A and B are shown apart, each in its own frame.
Chain A
């Protein structure tokens, strides 16, 4: 199939780095003339503190250069708007344009984070309302929207557990309770967040059925050193931990708390609530479940929700309502404030209030979906995953029998016999116009392919995806080379990542300077 290798040198395929396009004297900006009397620079800033390099190397280009540069590069990206993006555990659902419009309303976009509270009541109301809704959705009443992403919310939640235990047991006793239990199927951020909070990680085995091994959990809980458990539910294999109440019971009886990683909340919203399961603290990913855009890798937003008992330990400041409702209009509208007076708080985890723009979008998502729409989204997400599970079972190995929730894991076991592995299947899927699924995660499943369609695809697209996957399975048998050399339709082929890591080039440098530094 090398015959279909690109022969084109289409200009948009060869867009260089902006630095290579730069020409002295070009400019893409215009500012008003300085309208105050200018003072010689040396009189206001001593020469020793002034820049000496004249910003050499920074680009000099025109506005249209920049527009073409990024427009061309954008065509090298796959995106949700182009088609199905079934990255497991990433919840790549449609990002509504309406939410974007809301986030750009001048009253929010131009609001300074240190503006007087009395002059930012609308902004605080948004925070407060979103807090209320997320508390209702999770069944956990304490909440902070300050964490900037999922892992940041995890760190916050785990630090809250630590602070709670320190108060409950006293510092001396709690020093012996420094073990955090994490299933072997967990996302890597879990152990990293636990470590950042000063815990030692112990790993819980999964059963052959893909669920938390209760016996192993009991064994690990028997030593009196367990501060908590970090559990994803549904877990990263897409399975609901049906023993969740028992799991929480075991951990609670051992003196620990249960932290739930909310990465997979898209399977639960409106159907079941972590707070009702015995979970003590959870983080949500507004960029997954609540549709805020992933933006090529952020910004995220990772609210942390917890029980009443843990509420005093949440980050400061909290956004609270001062009165339940005033008599006069004036009073009713000035009801929200920042509460810094939380002596047991773990402290601040981020400057200002968090990724506020994401809160606006998430609230917009909740209000436009409403109570029914939120539940229906969950139902469609699970139905779609189930449909894919059903459609692929004839051609791919499904390592766990249990019916999946919103995502399903398959493996390359059958294709591997022909030397075709998960990576190859993923790359070949690109040729069919789909973004590949999450691959080689969870780590405990050899050759894992984790597929999460979300609710944002219809049956026709699901059928196309299933057909593509089945076609690849056939190709793996009939023409493995075709799959092994995929993708064939992209601007560039598979890149040599080993060479890139051995001699990393992490920035552009001017040719001259680069050769000069070798001398």
Chain B
């Protein structure tokens, strides 16, 4: 090939790089290793993640749910996972139709009119929702509940810090665990709440929507446990204007925090302000139905600095996993999984509350996560529980709030058996007794 190109050497292909910029040594990277060595190395590192093997009651934005076997099988098909963004619709209909189904499912679950083809994750989706509210209302104040996932709030703060948006926090009721919004004014672009919130409590979305709308503001609802949509009233039915969610609960492995998939749904009237890709129906000359990327003029590759977002690559394959999950579980499966989550969580909560010294500090209704107040600092207690009983019993809230030393967040899903719940309750009792 070189000869045909009239090139003297491989080296000469890089002549346009000035001599003194070329790396005159090998990269300080190990020499290639074989498949056997590689798998051994990763297996060994994997075994040092003891937490991956424990009975787990961890939630807080990432959830252990049952995943039907066919989800991974189907997303592993070459035609899906080695394709790219469907720029050429004639040879991308598989991807495009799947996204159209994804958008439909997100609308059905959230009760909204329009959903996009996905965002990076729930946290960035919420930040983009805040930016969108500013574009829609041309107002600059946003009131966000303090009961939103702390990491989501941090991401929102990063995103809006240069956008001229003032992010205020609304406190939550220390008895109910539900958000209190007392004062918003005609400069408020949006109220942002998470429901169920980070403390597990279900917010009164309808009342908050009324409050927001009375001042011409939008209500943004964020959801980290999307499975709750199988049981709880949809944010759309409760009056939300923008709904964002983490879709990890729908067939996506925990994978130490990603890749997950952000859901983003809105009212139809805001269609031209939505960030991200959209797929729409289209027809060819013979009248055959197909699907295309549409309303692209909102996006960065056309509108550049005036785009609704800088997002380009989204989470296609993970959105596909969520689509396959939702279609396999279907209407009744999502309802059943959600029912089991709620029933098991309430069973666990009742049992823990009966253990001497333990209580549930918040009275607000919950779905499958709840805060437990331990008789002693939660962090060391949970460490001991993990080490001695092999159970990850929850997330110590002192990680996020030093004023909550004894509180921890427990999550129960359909994957936790009665026996596991029993072991958790017993373990907590044993450790508290011993100390």
Contact residues in B for A301 (Cβ distance below 8 Å)? 259
Q: Would A493 and B78 be within 8 Å (CB), given that A106-B46, A506-B114 are in contact?
A: no
Would B284 and A123 count as touching, CB distance under 8 A? no
List chain A residues, Cβ under 8 A from B10: 379, 383
**Digit string of B37-70 for contact with A (CB within 8 Å is 1, else 0)?**
0110111111111111110101011101010101
In the assembled complex, 22 residue pairs joining A and B whose CB atoms fall closer than 8 Å, in A order, are A29-B333, A31-B336, A31-B337, A37-B347, A50-B231, A52-B237, A53-B237, A66-B328, A77-B80, A79-B83, A113-B254, A123-B49, A159-B162, A189-B312, A196-B131, A198-B162, A244-B18, A370-B29, A379-B10, A386-B7, A491-B93, A500-B280
Residues on B with beta carbons closer than 8 Å to the beta carbon of A194: 305
A306–B75 CA distance with the chains assembled, in angstroms: 35
- Is B157's CB under 8 angstroms from A347's CB? yes
A147-155, A217-225, A250-258, A475-483: which one contacts chain B? A147-155
Contact between chains at A49 and B46 (CB < 8 Å): no
Do the beta carbons of A192 and B33 come within 8 Å of each other?
no
Most chain A CB atoms below 10 A, which of B17, B18, B30, B161: B17
* B147 at the A interface (CB under 8 A): no
Bound-state CA distance A26–B38 (Å) is: 43
Contact of B108 among A57, A368, A402 (CB under 8 A): A57
Indicate if the CB atoms of A108 and B94 lie closer than 8 Å. Answer: no
Say how far B315's CB is from chain A's closest CB, in angstroms: 4
How far apart are B281's CB and chain A's nearest CB, in angstroms? 4
Query: Which residues of chain B in 21-41 are interfacial with respect to chain A, using CB atoms and an 8 Å cutoff?
Result: 21-23, 26-33, 35, 38-39, 41
Q: Are A76 and B93 closer than 8 Å at their CB atoms? A: yes
Q: Is the CB of A350 within 8 A of B33?
A: no
Q: Give the residues in chain A near B428, CB-CB below 8 Å.
A: none
Q: How far is the CB of B395 from chain A (nearest CB, A)?
A: 5
A505 contacts B280, C-beta separation under 8 Å = yes
Determine whether A164 belongs to the interface, using a CB cutoff of 8 Å to chain B: no
Segment of A87-95, A320-328, A408-416 in the binding face: A87-95
Q: Please, which residues of chain B bring their CB within 8 A of the CB of A162?
A: 162
Inter-chain contacts of A353 with B (CB < 8 A): 256-258
Once the chains are docked, how many angstroms separate the CA of A148 from the CA of B292? 25
- Indicate with 1 or 0, residue by residue over B217-241, a CB within 8 angstroms of chain A CB atoms: 0000000000001111110010000
Known pairs A73-B97, A77-B93, A81-B82; A191 contacts B324 (CB<8 A) = no
Interchain CB contact (< 8 A) of A297 among B28, B257, B316: B316
Known: A45-B231, A350-B155, A370-B31. Is A67-B84 also a contact (CB below 8 A)?
Answer: no
Q: Is A61 an interface residue (CB 8 A)?
A: yes
Q: Say how far A462's CB is from chain B's closest CB, in angstroms.
A: 8
Task: Say how far A301's CB is from chain B's closest CB, in angstroms.
Answer: 8
Instruction: Tell me whether B70 and A67 are in contact (CB under 8 A).
Output: yes
Q: Are B124 and A350 in contact (CB under 8 A)?
A: yes
Q: How far is the CA of A197 from the CA of B45 in the complex (A)?
A: 38
CB of A111 within 8 A of CB of B254, answer yes
B318 interface residue per 8 A CB criterion: yes
**A351: min CB distance to chain B, Å:** 4
Which residues of B276-301 are within 8 A (CB) of A? 277-286, 288, 290-292, 294-296, 299-301
CB nearest neighbor in B for A426: B88
> A464 at interface (Cβ–Cβ under 8 A)?
no
Tell me the complex Cα distance, A74–B46, Å: 32
Q: Given A55-B335, A100-B76, A115-B49, verify A152-B256 contact (CB < 8 Å).
A: no
Q: Is A102 touching B365 in the complex (CB atoms < 8 A)?
A: no
A298 → chain B closest CB, angstroms: 4
